[in-house]
A and B are shown apart, each in its own frame.
Chain A
Amino acid sequence: MKQWFKSGDPWIWLNAGALSIGLVMVMGLFLLIAIRGSVHFWPADIVETIVIKKNGIEKKVVGELVKSEVSTAVVMREAGYKIPENVELVRRYLVKQGNKDVTGRDFMWYLEDHMGEWKYPKNLVVLERREWGNFYGYPLKLIENGVVVIKGDEIWPELAARIKRSNRLFKKIKKIEKYDIGDINRQHEYIRLEQKKLAIEENLSPDQRKIKHEKFATILENMNIIFASHQKQLDQIRKDLKRDILIVEIMDGSTVEIPLEKIVRFARSNNMNIAAKTGYYGERLWEYLTEAPREANTEGGVFPAIFGTVIMVLLMSILVTPFGILAAIYLHEYAKQGPLLSLIRVSVYNLAGVPSIVFGVFGLGFFVYFLGGNLDELFFPEKLPAPTFGTPGLFWASLTLALLTLPAVIVATEEGLARIPVTTRQASLALGATKAETLWRVILPLSAPAMMTGLILAIARAAGEVAPLMLVGVVKMAPSLPVDSYFPYIHLESKIMHLGFHIYDVGFQSPNVEAARPLVYATSLTLIIIIVVLNLFATSIRNRLREKYKSAGD
Chain B
Amino acid sequence: MKKKNNISQTTSNEGGKTVNSYLADEEKRRKIRRHRAIKDSMARYGVGAGGGGVVVVLTLIFVYLFIEVLPLFTGASLHESKNYSIQVEENSDTYMIAMERYQELAVKFASNRMAIFFETANGKVRHKELLPIPPDITITSFGKAEANTGVVVFGLSDGRALVAKHDYDLTYPDDKRYIDPKIVYPLDGSAVVVDNEGRELKAIAVQKSDNGIAIAAVTIDDRLLLVLYRSEESFLTGEVEVAREAFELPSPPKSIFKILVDTTTKNLFIADNAGNIHYYDISEPDDAVLIETVSVLKNKNSSITAVDFLLGSVSLIIGDSNGNVSQWFLVRDEKNVHHLTHIRDFEPHEAAVVAISPEYNRKGFVTGDNSGIVAIHYSTSNNTVLRQKISDRPIKDLAISPINNALLTVDIQGNAKNYKLTNLHPEVSTSILWSKIWYEGRSKPEYIWQSSSATDDFEGKFSIIPLAVGTFKGAIFAMLFAIPIGVMGAIYAAYFMTPKLRGVVKPTIEIMAALPTVILGFLAGLWLAPFIENNLPAIFSIITLTPLVILIFAFLWYKLPSSWKYKIPSNGLEVLLLIPVIVVSWWIFIKISPMIEVTFFDGSMRQWITGIGINYDQRNALVVGIAMGFAVIPTIFSMAEDAIFSVPKHLTQGSLALGATAWQTVSRVVLLTASPGIFAAVMIGLGRAVGETMIVLMATGNSPIVNFNIFEGMRTLSANIAVELPETAVGSSHYRILFLAALVLFALTFMVNTIAEIVRQRLRKKYSSL
Contact = CB atoms under 8 A, between A and B. Distances in A.
A316 interface: no
Interface string A458-480: 00110111110011000000000
B574 interface: yes
Interface stretch (B211-219, B276-284, B402-410, B506-514): B506-514
A26 B507 CA distance: 12
A333 B52 CA distance: 12
B546 A32 contact: no
A295 B47 CA distance: 51
A365 B43 contact: no
Interface string A522-535: 00100110011001
Contacts of B730: 369
A531 B516 contact: yes
B746 A354 contact: yes
B526 A520 contact: yes
B698 A17 contact: no
A316 to B, nearest CB: 15
A103 B260 CA distance: 56
A16 B667 contact: no
A504 B730 CA distance: 25
Contact of A507 (B55, B525, B583, B750): B525
A327 B578 contact: no
B750 A13 contact: no
Contacts of A8: 661-664, 666-667
B518 A13 contact: no
Residue in A12, A327, A346, A517 whose Cβ sees the most chain B Cβ within 10 Å? A12
Contact of A326 (B54, B745, B750): B54
Interface string A12-32: 111111111111111001001
A385 to B, nearest CB: 13
Contacts of B493: 19
B426 to A, nearest CB: 22
A357 B691 contact: yes
Contact of A324 (B54, B497, B750): B54
A11 interface: yes
Given A18-B488, A361-B65, A329 B47 contact: yes
Given A7-B661, A23-B505, A406-B54, A16 B575 contact: yes
Contacts of B630: 25, 29
A231 B586 CA distance: 63
B522 interface: yes
A212 B753 CA distance: 62
A31 to B, nearest CB: 11
B19 interface: no
A326 B50 contact: yes
B515 A464 contact: yes
Nearest to A6: B661
A364 interface: yes
Contacts of B497: 19
B604 interface: yes
B651 interface: no
A174 B18 CA distance: 79
B234 to A, nearest CB: 37
Given A73-B603, A355-B691, A504-B694, A517 B526 contact: yes
A72 interface: yes
B492 A335 contact: no
B564 to A, nearest CB: 17
B611 interface: no
Interface string A333-361: 11100000000101111110111111111
A513 interface: yes
Contact of A19 (B505, B554, B664, B693): B505
A348 B757 CA distance: 12
Nearest to B59: A347
Nearest to A440: B43
A232 interface: no
A359 B630 CA distance: 23
B534 interface: yes
A72 B546 contact: no
Contact of B39 (A357, A434, A461, A465): A434
B491 A15 contact: yes
Interface stretch (B142-150, B201-209, B717-725): B717-725
B414 interface: no
A4 interface: yes
B488 A524 contact: no
A364 B303 CA distance: 53
A144 interface: no
B718 A466 contact: no
A508 B525 contact: yes
Contacts of B44: 334, 435-436
Contacts of B46: 326
A349 B58 CA distance: 11
B48 A15 contact: no
A282 B667 CA distance: 56
Given A18-B492, A357-B693, A75 B662 contact: no
B51 A326 contact: yes
A331 B36 CA distance: 23
Contacts of B65: 358, 361-362, 365
Contact of A13 (B525, B578, B595): B578
B582 A22 contact: no
B518 A500 contact: yes
Interface string B567-585: 0000000110011011100
B58 A507 contact: no
B738 interface: yes
Contacts of B575: 16, 19-20, 23
Nearest to B684: A353
B742 A513 contact: no
A86 to B, nearest CB: 12
Interface in A365-402: 365-366, 369
A17 B583 CA distance: 11
B509 A4 contact: no
A96 B91 CA distance: 84
Nearest to A18: B488
Contact of A467 (B43, B60, B485, B722): B722
A350 B50 contact: no
Contacts of A344: 55
A512 interface: no
Nearest to B721: A357
A233 to B, nearest CB: 41
B742 A13 contact: no
B485 A21 contact: yes
A10 interface: yes
Contacts of A69: 534
B520 to A, nearest CB: 8
A323 interface: yes
Given A13-B553, A18-B489, A20-B582, 13 more contacts: A9-B558, A12-B574, A14-B488, A18-B486, A23-B509, A334-B44, A347-B58, A354-B750, A361-B738, A365-B68, A403-B61, A406-B54, A531-B515
12 contacts: A11-B663, A14-B547, A15-B488, A15-B496, A326-B54, A353-B752, A362-B65, A434-B39, A460-B514, A467-B694, A500-B694, A504-B522
Interface of A: 1, 4, 7-26, 29, 32-33, 69-75, 88-89, 322-324, 326-331, 333-335, 344, 346-351, 353-362, 364-366, 369, 403, 406-407, 410, 434-437, 439-440, 457, 460-461, 463-467, 470-471, 500-501, 503-504, 507-508, 513, 517, 520, 524, 527-528, 531-532, 535, 539
Q: Which 6 A-B residue pairings sit nearest by Cβ, starting from the closest?
A: A330-B51, A8-B663, A355-B691, A74-B603, A464-B516, A436-B43
Interface of B: 36-37, 39-40, 42-44, 46-48, 50-55, 57-61, 64-65, 68, 484-489, 491-493, 496-497, 505, 507-509, 511-512, 514-519, 521-523, 525-527, 534, 546-547, 550-551, 553-555, 558, 574-575, 578-579, 581-583, 586, 594-595, 597-598, 602-604, 607, 630, 633, 637, 661-664, 666-667, 684, 687-688, 690-694, 697-698, 718, 721-722, 725-726, 730, 738-739, 742, 745-746, 749-750, 752-754, 757-758
